[in-house]
Amino acid sequence: MEDSLGERTVHFVRDVRAEVRKVVWPGWQRTGLLTVSVAIVVTVISVLIFLADLLFHFVLGV
């Protein structure tokens, strides 16, 4: 016999909570380092796309 929607929801929430407890969360220092790394990569890629856009604009005259 199948469980009701409420029973399945409760089971799902319990499973999610059990999995979240297993997660190893990074500390504040690691989080800050990763945030700075992402900001640097985004900035570099943005500059490269901007330069490519300028080049195409210059070459194609669009």
Give the pLDDT score at 40: 98
Put simply, whether the predicted model's pTM sits higher than 0.75 gets the answer no
Dist. CA 56–CA 7, nearest whole Å? 59
The 8-class DSSP code of residue 44 comes to H
Dist. CA 12–CA 32, nearest whole Å? 32
CB 18 within 8 A of CB 26: no
Dist. CA 15–CA 8, nearest whole Å? 10
Span 11-58, pLDDT tens digits: 999 999 999 999 999 999 999 999 999 999 999 999 999 999 999 999
- The four Cα atoms 38, 40, 43, 48 give a dihedral, to 10 degrees, of -110
Give the pLDDT score at 61: 83
1 pLDDT higher than 60: no
